[in-house]
Amino acid sequence: MSLLMITTKRVITRVFVLNFSTAGPNATALLACTLITGITVPITLRSYSIHREWVLISLTTTGVFLSLYPNPVISLLAAAVAIISLTSLLFVDTTILENQIGVATGLSVLIIIMTRAVTGAVSLYATTIGRIEIAGMVFIFIGISLAQADETTNKFAALTVLPSFAPLAGVLVLTSAWLAAPVASARWASYPYFSAVVSSVVGLTGGTLFISGHTLSLFRKTSLGCVTAIIGMSGIVIGGTFGIVGIILATISVPVLASAGGQRYKHSHIQINAWHVGFVTACVQGICVVILFGFVFAVNAAFVPGGVFLMNKAPIFIIGLAAFVALSGFIVSLRTLRSDSDPSTTGYIQTRRSILAYLATGSISSLAAWDSAPQTDTTTESDLHVATYNIHRYFDSTGTYNLESVANVLRAQRVGLIGLQETTGTRLTTGHTHGVRWLAAQLEYHYAIAPPTSTEGYGVALLSVWPITQTQTISLPQTDGPPRDALYAVVDHPRGPLSIVVAHLDTTGQIRVRQTTEIQHFLDGIDPAVVLGDFNATPTERPIRLMTQSFTDAWDEAGQRDGKTFATPTPSRRIDYVFVRGLTVQTASTFGTTTESDHRGVRATLSIVPGEDAFSK
């Protein structure tokens, strides 16, 4: 089941890479229909046999491994094949496990949370360690299949009543889209990733204990699961204290609603065949996918035709998705008519083993999610090395994750401060990749980010070898495009506090002048100060002429040649800048290639007045 959720997210990210990151909308968007796998269930399960099971296992293995391939079309199609095969295999397991499938679902979600925490809160496809984890899961999947294939096939062949399955399919869409990646909740409302992981562990464990009890009927359990799902997702999007409580409630609902998908109908007149199950499941999946893509379009409203009508509507869609999944489980609980006196089929030993597995996996997840502070650089050298770099939302020009190549480029610069642009990667379309956190951990930096994902902006960030003592989001003037807020931070440099602004201005128009003016007004009276950013303007345009009235353009002061930084494949414009005030520019250079990102970075060496104990004010 973990592989099914992983490959589901792979299909989603590849569809959007092909239609937004590397090209405009095109026919590959139709491949999103491969997420609707329910209708394939009756076809693949017809005359089910050990031979057919091995075909499905082989297709799954091949599909998952090929989904690791960098080419977005090949990886998308391969992931789709894996999803179709895994859905049929999961249906067989659900038929056998019945309501225990809820326990298995919760544990599968927790396994994904653990593996993502180990990789640093990024997509498993984004790093070498993550890809190794995927390969490891495939080998475990093959091993379990080898051990249980004959027994599973025989048990399934002996059954005459099928499970409802549709609620489980809906739960898997919801977990793939959000709940299996606690970083999505953490970055939505700007609270610690560690807190989100611990809350998820608590919720999933609580949900498993809840469905393992004997005191409530299926109807009552599912009803409470519906309430916790809707209230939980609402709390997450509200954020703050409500966000933490929301994560716990929403994740409690995961095993509860999933268990409804394993229920068999109790009376012969409502027994159903595989075609009925497949059709209903496909309908539930189809509606979930429509709602999910509505959410994605709302988050990216500035890039969607007619997106103005979707602005600030993302919370409605994600809460609506939770509500629809809850509704599907509620309807099933009505039709199965399970009596209050009908005991749970999850035995004490099984429950105890499940809880132990939850606690072990949850402990690893929590430990891996803990943010350890990097060692602070206490040297007092007179030179200050800074850089700015637009990292294209963690994808290169081919749609392949660029985190590791970006890390190598930045490591080679050996700078104390790095301003990053296009860092809002914790969206579903990037596989919920918290690239800033990952880069900071790999390069041993402190980090700060602005704004939260809920603002639907591009995102900017600061990496610093010195502690960041103060941060503030600067609200810049907006158009009907994506928000372009800037980040203000104060760094505890050994010579004294240093003010930094990281910015990413609009692509065209007079709005850039207003945004530049806002940054200057914010920094009035602050000296020294450094501004790092993608200004989307060349040196002769008014925003840059305005900035150089009160700041020094590091490239103009000490750069060589033309310093062009954008775009691919051959940079033709200089739009990325290091601006300084109260510091002397010694050198300036560009770094990186358009292989890692669609921008080159700019590096500058600044000098601090020798003998000063602190920066002047």
What was the pLDDT predicted at 24?
63
Region 13-19 average pLDDT: 86
What was the pLDDT predicted at 615?
60
In this structure, the answer to whether residues 329 and 400 fall within a common structural domain is no
**C-alpha count within 13 angstroms, C-beta hemisphere, residue 598:** 17
Provide the terminal-to-terminal Cα distance of the chain, rounded to the nearest Å.
58
pTM of the predicted model as reported, rounded to 2 decimal places: 0.92
Return d(Cα 123, Cα 225) in angstroms, integer: 28
Report which secondary-structure segment, H or E, holds 553.
strand 552-553
Q: Is residue 459 part of a domain?
A: yes
Tokens matching residue 242: 């409500």
Amino acid residing at 545? R
Neighbouring CB atoms inside 10 A of 465's CB total 22
Query: What confidence tens digit (pLDDT) does each residue in 223-277 have?
Result: 999 999 999 999 999 887 788 999 999 999 999 999 988 887 654 444 457 788 8
Question: Are 97 and 78 within 8 A, CB to CB?
Answer: no
- Secondary structure, 3-state, 54-71: HHHHHHHHHHHHHCCCCC
What was the pLDDT predicted at 386?
97
**Structural domain for 357, as ranges:** 2-369
Question: Are 551 and 586 within 8 A, CB to CB?
Answer: no
Q: Is residue 538 part of a domain?
A: yes
Alpha-carbon separation of residue 208 from 163, 258, 355 (angstroms): 20, 11, 8
Helix (H, G, I), strand (E, B) or coil at 293: helix
DSSP string for residues in 304-325 = STTGGGTTT-HHHHHHHHHHHH
In this structure, the answer to whether residues 414 and 310 fall within a common structural domain is no
- Which of 519, 534, 462 shows the shortest CA–CA distance to 493? 462
In this structure, the answer to whether residues 183 and 87 fall within a common structural domain is yes
Q: Is residue 377 part of a domain?
A: no
Q: Is residue 85 part of a domain?
A: yes
Domain CATH for 601: 3.60.10.10
Query: What confidence tens digit (pLDDT) does each residue in 129-181 have?
Result: 999 999 999 999 999 988 887 878 887 777 767 888 999 999 999 999 999 99
Give the contacts of 27 (CB within 8 A, at least 6 positions apart): none
In this structure, the answer to whether residues 439 and 312 fall within a common structural domain is no
Q: Which residues pair with 387 in a beta bridge?
A: 418, 603
Region 396-401 average pLDDT: 88
Domain boundary among 341, 369, 397: 369
What was the pLDDT predicted at 339?
44
In this structure, the answer to whether residues 394 and 531 fall within a common structural domain is yes
Task: Indicate whether 343 pLDDT > 60.
Answer: no
Query: What confidence tens digit (pLDDT) does each residue in 429-472 have?
Result: 889 999 999 999 999 999 999 887 777 678 999 999 999 999 99
Task: Indicate whether 199 pLDDT > 90.
Answer: yes
In this structure, the answer to whether residues 295 and 389 fall within a common structural domain is no
Q: Is residue 148 part of a domain?
A: yes
In this structure, the answer to whether residues 416 and 344 fall within a common structural domain is no
Domain CATH for 20: 1.20.1250
In this structure, the answer to whether residues 364 and 388 fall within a common structural domain is no
Domain boundary among 345, 369, 393: 369
In this structure, the answer to whether residues 431 and 325 fall within a common structural domain is no
Centroid of chain to Cα 58: 29
Task: Indicate whether 424 pLDDT > 90.
Answer: no
In this structure, the answer to whether residues 181 and 37 fall within a common structural domain is yes
**Confidence band (pLDDT; 50, 70, 90) for 351?**
low
In this structure, the answer to whether residues 326 and 197 fall within a common structural domain is yes
What was the pLDDT predicted at 451?
86
**Confidence band (pLDDT; 50, 70, 90) for 16?**
confident
Return d(Cα 241, Cα 58) in angstroms, integer: 46
Q: Is residue 375 part of a domain?
A: no
Return d(Cα 1, Cα 10) in angstroms, integer: 14
What was the pLDDT predicted at 110?
95
Centroid of chain to Cα 314: 15
The number of distinct structural domains making up the chain is 2
Task: Indicate whether 128 pLDDT > 90.
Answer: yes
Give the contacts of 367 (CB within 8 A, at least 6 positions apart): none
Task: Indicate whether 505 pLDDT > 80.
Answer: yes
Return d(Cα 615, Cα 579) in angstroms, integer: 17
What was the pLDDT predicted at 245?
93
Domain boundary among 343, 369, 395: 369
DSSP string for residues in 68-92 = TSSSHHHHHHHHHHHHHHHHHHHHH
Task: Indicate whether 90 pLDDT > 80.
Answer: yes
Query: What confidence tens digit (pLDDT) does each residue in 20-59 have?
Result: 766 666 777 888 888 999 988 888 777 778 888 899 999 9
In this structure, the answer to whether residues 482 and 338 fall within a common structural domain is no
What was the pLDDT predicted at 127?
96
- Which of 260, 335, 324, 265 shows the shortest CA–CA distance to 289? 324
Neighbouring CB atoms inside 10 A of 595's CB total 13
Region 294-323 average pLDDT: 84
Mean pLDDT, the chain, integer? 88
Please give the residue that has the higher pLDDT: either 242 or 386: 386
Question: Are 415 and 446 within 8 A, CB to CB?
Answer: no
Please give the residue that has the higher pLDDT: either 317 or 269: 317
